[in-house]
Copies of this chain bind each other. A is one copy, B any other.
């Protein structure tokens, strides 16, 4: 079992990473002294797979356990679901000392973390992520929130968990597409900050895709370190440091919005966005042709897309214009490359990235066009 710490003063917490460590979870929580009554927010699929193991681990340490299920869907991250959950929890609460366990992927982490942040002015919560994406990215850093008709992540908070507990063995239930979606973020970490991690994926991608224990441990640990490091420096995303984590997200979000969040998974859209950013960097002579090629090759090797199918350039641009009405934080990225002052995270090597403003719109268009594939 490995342990990292996210140093945020009073809001510091550990990230615990291991293989088949779920049985240890109850004991670890007991040491944290965060309450005696666990409310586990999860979906029916995860509960069926791992619910009993979690419950045993908690009950052995004397916690009471209550499961609250939400559907296994992106749309569970809604205001209605959040209020409904709070109602259910309030009726159950009485004089208990509750804490929340977010047991699932990014949707459940965001939803459960947000409800913890507003229930009785904030109660403790912990992240128990079951997807690669949540273990390496969304589970760490305290960005929680819900989506809404009027904007993705329009309603949310910065609210740090008391611990992030990543049991690698839980990833066995992921299908290949979910695994790849998480890998897109891992590759991103390699590009922006860690050439060693990038090389590791180049070398071991087959092992990773086969869910090899050591390979998964390695990439989750390396990614968590980078995320923790950046969050420490810029907890509330105001110093420009957390911005680096948005490599690939400017165009990635535009693609997601243009396809109404249905055609591409988040990781797939980010993979395409990352290749586009690398290509822009190459044209601007910030990135060598060799490095660009390594990035494109790696994304292809792990089975992520580097071409945009079934979307037209005009649709991507239109999606942004349309999104002007909807002003979620994420949608601001969407606007960034057609606004007067666009902003891109661009790789300037493998393991280093920079924020650049005012990339010529024609260049952006040209790069996206070169990625379009007619079907």
Alpha-carbon distance A153/B118, docked complex (angstroms): 10
**Is A120 an interface position by the 8 A CB rule?**
yes
Instruction: Say whether B157 contacts A117, CB under 8 Å.
Output: yes
Q: Closest CB of chain B to A151's CB: distance in Å? A: 6
**Is A294 an interface position by the 8 A CB rule?**
no
Instruction: Say whether B150 contacts A121, CB under 8 Å.
Output: no
Question: Do A158 and B90 contact each other (CB < 8 Å), given the known contacts A79-B83, A95-B327?
Answer: no
Alpha-carbon distance A351/B330, docked complex (angstroms): 52
Chain A contact surface mostly: mixed
- How many copies the complex holds: the figure is 2
Q: Which residues of B contact A326 (CB under 8 A)?
A: 90
Q: Closest CB of chain B to A271's CB: distance in Å? A: 26
Which partner residue on chain B sits nearest A154 by CB separation?
B90
Instruction: Say whether A156 contacts B120, CB under 8 Å.
Output: yes
From B122, B155, B237, contact of A86 by CB (8 A)? B155
Q: Closest CB of chain B to A328's CB: distance in Å? A: 8
Q: Which residues of B contact A118 (CB under 8 A)?
A: 118, 145, 155-157
Alpha-carbon distance A237/B194, docked complex (angstroms): 42
Alpha-carbon distance A119/B327, docked complex (angstroms): 10
Q: Which residues of B contact A119 (CB under 8 A)?
A: 154-155
**Is A177 an interface position by the 8 A CB rule?**
no
**Is A52 an interface position by the 8 A CB rule?**
no
* Residue among A86, A121, A143, A156 with the highest chain B CB neighbour number at 10 A: A121
Q: Which residues of B contact A153 (CB under 8 A)?
A: 120-121
**Residues on A facing B (Cβ under 8 Å):** 79, 83, 86-87, 90-91, 93-95, 117-122, 143, 145, 148, 150-151, 153-158, 236-237, 324-329, 332, 335, 339
Among all A-B residue pairs, the 5 with the closest Cβ atoms:
A93-B327, A121-B156, A90-B150, A118-B155, A120-B329
A-B contact pairs, 20 of them (CB 8 A): A79-B83, A86-B148, A86-B154, A86-B155, A87-B150, A90-B151, A90-B326, A93-B327, A94-B324, A95-B332, A118-B118, A118-B145, A118-B156, A120-B156, A120-B327, A121-B157, A121-B236, A121-B237, A121-B329, A122-B157
